Amino acid sequence: MVNKLTENELWILSFYRTSEISGALFFGRLARSMKPGLIQRDMTKHFSDESQHAWYWTSCVQRFGTLPLKLSHAYQDKYLEAAGMPANLMEVLAITQTFEKRVIAQYALHSRVPDLKPEILETFNKIMEDEKWHIEWVGEALKRMEPEYGKSYIQDTLKRYWKADKKIYGEVLKEHEDRVKDLLRYRQRTA
């Protein structure tokens, strides 16, 4: 018999999938706009990774004999609302850095939940390696931008996005409290 996902599990895996798709679409469009260079190369790989992740979540859900839910994709919009629209490439990379760190933290938290279904854990493990590289390349690109943008402008931008990220994450958790309460309970216990 096929192991079944709970309603909350299906929702959260669908949320991850939607978020990976939004990321892929964003980086895909950006990659298309980039002039030849390292950022162009890394952004194309980033786009390809996020697309792959969306597929991993889709096939993970399918292994439980069902399909992902169609969810609203307003999360990224909320982000921009809280942090202000990034106005240049450095700001785009700064918001990316913030967002990627949030994703890693969320995936790490979820992957430590006791009795996690092995198919889900396997998917986290597959994705995590890529996510670490995302933070790495963006960090390096931001470093290379220091002469052009100035170190303090970059640091201030990162700080601004961190603040916005905290606020949005808190709001999203609150909004979907019922869906993620098992995760939250675990977070409080281990904090």
- Residue 17 lies near Fe ion (rule: CB under 5 A): no
76 vs 153 by CB, closer to Fe ion: 76
Q: Which of residues 53, 101, 110, 117 is near Fe ion by CB under 5 A?
A: 53
Tell me the window of 18-26, 52-60, 116-124, 173-181 that interacts with other proteins (CB under 8 A): 18-26
Q: Which of residues 29, 41, 144, 185 is near other proteins by CB under 8 A?
A: 29
Question: Minimum distance from CB of 36 to other proteins (Å)?
Answer: 11
Other CB atoms within a 10 A radius of the CB of residue 16 amount to: 25
Residues 6+ apart with CB under 8 A from 179: 8, 11, 12
Q: Which of residues 57, 68, 134, 165 is near Fe ion by CB under 5 A?
A: 134
The binder of 85, among Fe ion, other proteins, none, by C-beta within 5 to 8 A per type, is: other proteins
Question: Minimum distance from CB of 179 to other proteins (Å)?
Answer: 23
- Residue 77 lies near other proteins (rule: CB under 8 A): yes
How far is Cα 68 from Cα 60, in angstroms, rounded to an integer? Answer: 9
10 vs 92 by CB, closer to other proteins: 92
Question: Minimum distance from CB of 92 to other proteins (Å)?
Answer: 6
Q: Are 69 and 14 in contact (CB under 8 A)?
A: yes
How far is Cα 155 from Cα 174, in angstroms, rounded to an integer? Answer: 29
How far is Cα 154 from Cα 149, in angstroms, rounded to an integer? Answer: 7
- One-character DSSP codes across 114-137: TT--HHHHHHHHHHHHHHHHHHHH
Helices 75-83 & 7-33 angle (0-180, nearest 10): 60
Binding site for other proteins (CB under 8 A): 22, 25-26, 29-30, 33-35, 73, 76-77, 80-81, 84-89, 91-92
